Each structure stands twice: as C-alpha cells, then as structure tokens.
Chain A
Amino acid sequence: MTIVVCVKHVPDPADPVVLAADLRVDREAGAGTLSGLDEYAVDQAVRLRRARERVVAVTMGPRGARAAVTRALQMGADEGIVVSDEALAGADVLTTAAVLAAAVRSVGDADLVVCGMSSTDGGSGVVPVLVADLLGWACAGHAAAVELDGGRVTIQRDDPDARRTLVAPLPAVVSVTDLSGEPTYPSFKAILAARRRPVREVGLSELGLGTPSTAPGTRTVSAVEADPRPPARIVTDSDGSGAAALLELLAGRSLLEVDR
C-alpha cells in the first residue's frame, strides 16, 4: 500500500504578499517554500509508513511548486508527483481538491492520504475533507496524533471542550495540526539521497481531468493591505510606570471595574 501526502508550495510567510492584476497571489513572485503546516503532514506520513510501503508526495501548482515535493523527499518521502497545468492558475479549493483526488487515484494502491490542517497562505482548511468526499473515503480532520492499526486509523483531536479519540476505516484522509510533534530537520545525507528519488510531472489530461470549469462562482473584486496600527505610545518601565500606563488604559475604557 501507499501513503500519499499532499503538499503545497507557498510564498515565504516572511515575504510581503504580491497580488497579480487579477487579484490572485502571484505564485511566481517570491522564492516560496513548503507550507509550514505541511511539514507536519510529511513527518507523520513518513513515520506511519509500514514495511514495504512507499510515501508519495503530491503537489499541485506552477513549475516552481516542485520545490515543495523536493523538500518532502528530503524529509523522507519516496516519490513525488507534480501536477502542473496552465489551466490551473488561480484554482479554487474545489478544483484543487479534484486534482489532488485524481492524483491519489493515479497512485493506484493508496489507502491513506495525509494533509496539513490548512495551507499557510490560503488557509481555509477544507481541502482535506473535499479530497475525502471526492474519493468517497473517510476524513478524520485536525489530528494532534495519528496511529494505524489493521484496517483503521485512530486520531486524537484537541477540541475546545475535550480531547477526543476518533476511529475511521481505511481508506481515509487525515489532516494533522501543529500539535502532532515538531517535524525533524533533514540531514545532509537525506538531502543528497532525495536527489535520486523519482518525481513525475503530469498535466490535467494525464490525470484524466478536463479543463476546470470557469463558471462564475466566487470573484474577488478588491484586495487591500490592512492599515498598520498607528505608532504606539512607548513607556519604559521604571518604578511602576509600566503598570500605571496599563491600568490607565484599562480604566479609560471602563475595564477595571472589578466587580462587574
């Protein structure tokens, strides 16, 4: 069997966001990186790999997105698939999920898909459940821990009111959160070894998909950068001046009436 891990190439969060004229993210602009939250997914996929199994890292994106797969290979994935097609520029979550689901099918013997809990740029967090529904598989989302036993996947989920254990039958899609353990940093040896692992580049037709419909769904009509806060009043604490400034601000907004 095979574990597929879905990875996304995103602009470096430290770089300013560049939007193209059509208000889409300019994905060719900056250097980009593997989405920080997908590192957890790669790490879990590699950890869950059973004997004689392989981990296949799949990405959808422009040519440069191959870097996300390369990083996944360095972190221990065995093979990569890059789905690149001009027709996919600006793809919405539904199109993205359809492409990833088709890539999973193309692998043939996958029984587990691991995803990050959301991308760090788009951030809606719904791609994993959409991939699951398109495949007709179970989805166990937002796992803080994942285990496989027999034909089932067991996850721990940290909800606001309780820590829950959930079980789903395989095949399944799992998304993992940043509570799932810090990803291991690849060694130099692992980085060299990754160069020899195969990466397949495919277009939509190779996955048996047509051009995504351009039916008018959602349309972003404006994008503006948030105003920065005006410069702060700075108080260097000495002899209680810091606490005094803090309490004054709270009192000025009637937030110190302790017996409220």
Chain B
Amino acid sequence: MIAVLLDQLDSTAEADLILVRLAAAVDEVTCLLGSAPDRDRVAALGAAGASHLAWADLAPDGPSGPWVAALAALVGPDDAVLAPSTRAGNEVAARLALRLGRPLSVGADSIAVGGPGLVVTSTAFTATWHLTTELPKASVVTAVSAGVQVPPPTPRTPGVRRLELDLTPAPHEPVVVAAAPKAAGAGPRLTEAAVVVSGGRGTDGDFSLIEEFAGLIGAAVGSSRVAVDQGWASPERQVGQTGVSVAPEVYIAAGISGAVQHLAGMVAAKQVVAINTDPDAPIFRACDLGIVGDLHTVLADAVAAVRKAQPVHC
C-alpha cells in the first residue's frame, strides 16, 4: 500500500489528484483526508486511482503534528508514503520519516517501482541537474505536481473510513492566532495555468499591461523576486527558488533578466518567451523565442492585436 497525504494548506485539489495518480502507478492507494469527503470527492479520487479514503478532522491550517500522527497510524511496516512537495507537505513528511525511522526523499518529479523498492527522479541545484535515487519501499517521498508526467489512472470505487484516533496537538505545537485572507483574484491559478506572464524589474512597477494581456488570453500573472521586494507583486506570485515552480505550456518573462534562482521556478515550461531590452540578458540563453524590445511596447501591441481579432462583446 502507499499512503497519500492530501488536503495540505498550500496544495490544491488538482495537485492532490496528480499525487494520487502518481501513487496509483506504484501500489494500492490509501488517501489521508482532513475532512469527510462528499460523493463528488470520493468519485474524483476514485477516478484518479484511490482504493481507500481515510479521514479525520484535521484543519489544513492547523499544526503538522496531528497530520503526522494520523499518517503514522495509517501506514504499516512495508507501506510507502507520498506527500506533496510543498512547505506544509514536506514538513509532515520529514516529521513522519523521523518518527518512523524511514528514509526520506523530497521533491520527486517521478516515482516508480524498481531497485530496492522505489526509484524517484528529481531536480537539484536550482533545477540545473537531474538526479535518480533508489530507496526502499517503506520510505517517505514528497513529489512536485507542476509539469509531472502522470500515467493514465485505473478507476476504483474507494471505501471511506474515519480514523478513530486522539489527534489533539501537543501543547508546544504552534497555533494560528490571526489570518488575513488574500483576494482569490481572477483567472487561473499560477501553478495550473497554461500560460504564465511574469513581470520583473523591467516593468518599473507598472504591471497593468501584464495584467491586461494575461486577462485577455486567460493567463496567470507571475513575477520575479525583485517585483515582490519592490511591492509591485504579492509574494504568492513569485516564481523561482523561493517562490513557486510552474510548468505551463508557455512562460512569458517580461523585463526579467534570467537569474538562476528565477529560472529554477520555470525551467519545466514547454516554451519560454523572453521580452527584454538588453540583447545580452541571460534570459535569452534560456528561452525559445527572444524578443529584444521594450516590454511596454511589445505588450501594448499584443493587447491591441488580440482586441482587434476578438469579436466585440458589449
């Protein structure tokens, strides 16, 4: 069996389904959920290949300890564990590996049966290397979801059970005392969009054309860290080593130089377009189409052309 950790604060329903499909190619899947699933959720997880659903009342924004305890109760000595490679998912996974004395592998982009049990691949050193790692079956692995190849699932009809456990957090676990929700924002999610348009220092603080173009073509808006540091974009927009990793069909970097820390978050994009005034910018060595020019001119032209081609809605 392979136990799959779902419902983490910084994962998404779509990423959770990818995780289940990755796991289903390895072994029979038992999912750990943070609340009782409704019929649609049972059907969706079954279609992704889950055989069993175990749930407990576990708040996504609660401490990681109870999630660790629930997983520890779920897995037997020969079972594997798969968690999302997000901040929250990696924390649960690491604590579980320590508690159970199991090997840990963080950030896999594929997982298969082989070697002494499992073979995983991952990228390393700001995504400039590909590693292949072997580990025993009874290990804890975390996997990314952006850009991974998922095998076609074999649909199942999962059974649902509640975990009967005392999941009171230890007294020293941190507690959330306040939360300021963020506006969900229009358009697709950054990690799931087919097209991402990102702006950097070259925008000089004006993201309006980036937002307008992205809105017109149904793309998500991303940014470099400089744009976040300057307060032009909010932190969850940041692509790169300390931001999110994306793997869209097309990634458009406007006014971004192409630092290795930025590239780390978008190398998995199928096509990369760079718009930059400096013909020697490093981003031109890491793209498929390089447009040497002012991003404001290029994006204004693009917006005008798309509007012209578009049927007029009143």
Contacts and interface: CB of A to CB of B under 8 A. Distances in A.
Please classify the interface of chain A as helix (H, G, I), strand (E, B), loop, or mixed, using the class held by over half of its residues.
Answer: mixed
Contact of A243 (B132, B173, B261, B301): B301
Interface string B221-240: 00001001100000110000
B292 A247 contact: no
B9 interface: yes
A55 to B, nearest CB: 22
A218 B105 contact: yes
A249 B302 CA distance: 12
A224 B129 contact: yes
Most chain A CB within 10 A, of B128, B250, B288, B301, is at: B301
B174 A237 contact: no
Interface string B262-290: 00000100011111000100001111111
Nearest to A139: B174
A246 B289 contact: yes
A236 B279 CA distance: 9
Interface string A225-248: 110111011111110101111110
Nearest to B292: A236
Contacts, number: 248
A235 B273 CA distance: 11
Contacts of A255: 194-195, 217, 249-250
A163 B136 CA distance: 38
Contacts of A236: 279, 291-293
B182 A161 contact: yes
Interface string B193-237: 011000000000000000000001110000001001100000110
A120 to B, nearest CB: 7
Contacts of B285: 228-229, 232
Interface residues of A, number: 82
B77 interface: no
Interface in A125-162: 125-126, 129-130, 133-134, 136-142, 144, 154-155, 158-162
Interface stretch (B16-24, B29-37, B92-100, B158-166): B92-100
Most chain B CB within 10 A, of A177, A226, A260, is at: A226
A218 B134 contact: yes
A126 B104 contact: yes
Given A120-B241, A182-B229, A238-B293, 20 more contacts: A117-B242, A123-B126, A126-B90, A162-B61, A165-B178, A166-B176, A169-B172, A216-B116, A221-B115, A222-B131, A222-B132, A226-B127, A233-B289, A235-B289, A237-B298, A246-B275, A249-B289, A255-B249, A256-B306, A258-B218
Interface of B: 9-10, 61, 64, 87, 90-91, 93-95, 97-99, 103-107, 115-116, 119, 123-136, 139, 171-182, 194-195, 216-218, 225, 228-229, 235-236, 241-242, 249-250, 252, 260-261, 267, 271-275, 279, 284-294, 297-299, 301-302, 304-306, 310
